[in-house]
Amino acid sequence: MRRYLRVVVLCLACGFCSLLYAFSQLAVSLEEGAGGGGGKPQAAAASWLAGGGRGAGRGAGSAGAAAHPGPSDRYSLKMQPVERVHLAVVACGERLEETLTMLKSALIFSIKPLQFHIFAEDQLHDSFKGILNSWSFLQTFNYSLYPITFPSENAAEWKKLFKPCASQRLFLPLILKEVDSLLYVDTDILFLRPVDDIWSLLKKFNSTQIAAMAPEHEEPRIGWYNRFARHPYYGKTGVNSGVMLMNMTRMRRKYFKNDMTSVRLRWGDILMPLLKKYKLNITWGDQDLLNIIFFHNPESLFVFPCQWNYRPDHCIYGSNCQEAEEEGIFILHGNRGVYHDDKQPAFRAIYEALRNCSFEDDNIHSLLKPLELELQKTVHTYCGKIYKIFIKQLTKSIQDRYDRPPKER
């Protein structure tokens, strides 16, 4: 009898312990759900937009849920949200192929699931849908397609005052209201490393930083802003907005110092007066407005090194991005149209190799062959010399991503 009682007590104790464990798991997953800006980003963004058709979403069983089998699975409490990387781009005119190549480079190397926010002129929507749907077998991304739009209060005024496509990106914090953080890139960007790497810089922001960009120049003697600008700009040489990492929660909350009124203004209220004041003096459009804003609010900017936004300017007149030579080129920015002309063969070759390749592993491995051939032809130019670094970077990224057993990926 005593023994029987003991067994019963033991069983009860065990049951109680597993219950406790289950509840603690539940608490953890609830907490994480509330924290990481999990939510349902696209839903609200779509309702804000007049005719914004949403792209076809697909499920991705994805790493997080499957990664920790164990007791929590038994109690069906495995729904831990995987943090998604939000990537935005604005595509107008002839930029379809370039944009798709950028998205492809993001997919080839990235680890976390990606959420694309693509703002495009209406006539490009069908082409985007066609291609992106054909990539859906990858199951590592979702996309939303939006028309070029502005907040309704002064949409007409913005369209009248400024090229709509160029200023679209300034409004992303107001349009994607439910998205916590976002990486904005120009269409002429190529990722040579996982997007996860730049995304992780968000965690390095101190309490006042809200956005991150790279300097426009490393070398003031050839800098544009310090020689020609007729408006304030950030730091010694200004910043380049082709790769811009944003904590939009903070951007929406902040009151910005400015030179128009003595009161501080919110993001949504500062843009129009700024444009009105400076429209005759700005050359590079929205990038200039960002420079003016961060001139007045320098504590809010996180400046990342040039290797996260590597442009022809860094090698045309000699190599002036030290970090890239030492650690590699992480994100390539082919501005000045260098992917499409013969001025910088190294940039063009990388672009074409990524444009031409498909998503099969073998194909991605053979990506490097045409590049190595091209290398021999271009060593005589400054940018040709750093071409070796492009190839080294790509080789490493491919190894990191594809030369591990499939289980670990």
Residues near ligand NAG (CB under 6 A): 57-60, 62, 84, 113, 115, 140-142, 180-181, 202-203, 206-209, 230-231, 247, 249-250, 277-278, 281, 298-299, 349, 352-353, 356, 370
Task: Compute the least distance from the CB of residue 294 to ligand NAG, in Å.
Answer: 11
Nearer to ligand NAG, 313 or 384 (CB): 384
Which of 335, 331, 330 has its CA nearest to residue 284? 335
Cβ-based nearer residue to ligand NAG, 298 or 318: 298
Minimum CB distance to ligand NAG smaller for 41 or for 328: 41
Query: Shortest approach of ligand NAG to residue 235 CB, angstroms?
Result: 10
Nearer to ligand NAG, 164 or 235 (CB): 235
Q: How far is the CB of 82 from ligand NAG (least distance, A)?
A: 7
Angstrom distance (rounded) from CA 124 to CA 93? 8
**Residue closer to ligand NAG (CB basis): 92 or 176:** 176
Nearer of residues 163 and 230 to ligand NAG, judged by Cβ: 230
CB of 348 to ligand NAG, least distance (A): 8
CB nearer ligand NAG, residue 55 or residue 312: 55
Phi/psi at 59 (nearest 5 deg)?
Answer: -75, 155
CB of 194 to ligand NAG, least distance (A): 15
Listed in sequence order, the residues at least 6 apart from 332 whose beta carbon sits closer than 8 Å to its beta carbon are: 189, 190, 192, 310, 347, 350, 390
In the bound state with ligand NAG, the residue whose beta carbon lies nearer, of 297 and 320, is 297
> Of 303, 305, 289, 213, which Cα lies nearest the Cα of 256?
289
Q: Smallest gap, in angstroms, from Cβ of residue 13 to ligand NAG? A: 39
Q: Tell me whether strands 239-247 and 181-185 are parallel, antiparallel or unpaired.
A: antiparallel
Instruction: Supply the minimum distance, in Å, between the C-beta of residue 275 and ligand NAG.
Output: 11
Nearest approach in angstroms of CB 180 to ligand NAG is 5
3-state secondary structure labels for all residues of the chain: CHHHHHHHHHHHHHHHHHHHHHHHHHHHHHHHHHHCCCCCHHHHHHHHCCCCCCCCCCCCCCHHHHHCCCHHHHCCCCCCCCCCEEEEEEECCCCHHHHHHHHHHHHHHCCCCEEEEEEECHHHHHHHHHHHHHCHHHCCEEEEEECCCCCHHHHHHHHHHCCHHHHHHHHHHHHCCCCCEEEEECCCEEECCCHHHHHHHHHHCCCCCCEEEEECCCCHHHCCHHHHCCCCCCCCCCEEEEEEEEEHHHHHHCEECCCCCCCCEEHHHHHHHHHHHHCCCCCCCHHHHHHHHHHHCHHHEEECCHHHCECHHHCCCCCCCHHHHHHCCCEEECCCCCCCCCCCHHHHHHHHHHHHCCCCHHHHHCCHHHHHHHHHHHCCCHHHHHHHHHHHHHHHHHHHHHCCCHHHC
What is the nearest approach in angstroms of ligand NAG to the Cβ of residue 38? Answer: 11
For ligand NAG, the closer of residues 169 and 254 by Cβ is 254
Question: Smallest distance, Å, CB 40 to ligand NAG?
Answer: 7
Nearer to ligand NAG, 351 or 382 (CB): 351
**Minimum CB separation from ligand NAG for residue 91, in Å?**
21
Cβ proximity to ligand NAG: between 101 and 209 the closer is 209
What distance in Å separates the CA atoms of residue 128 and residue 124, rounded to the nearest whole number? Answer: 6
What letter represents residue 66's amino acid? Answer: A
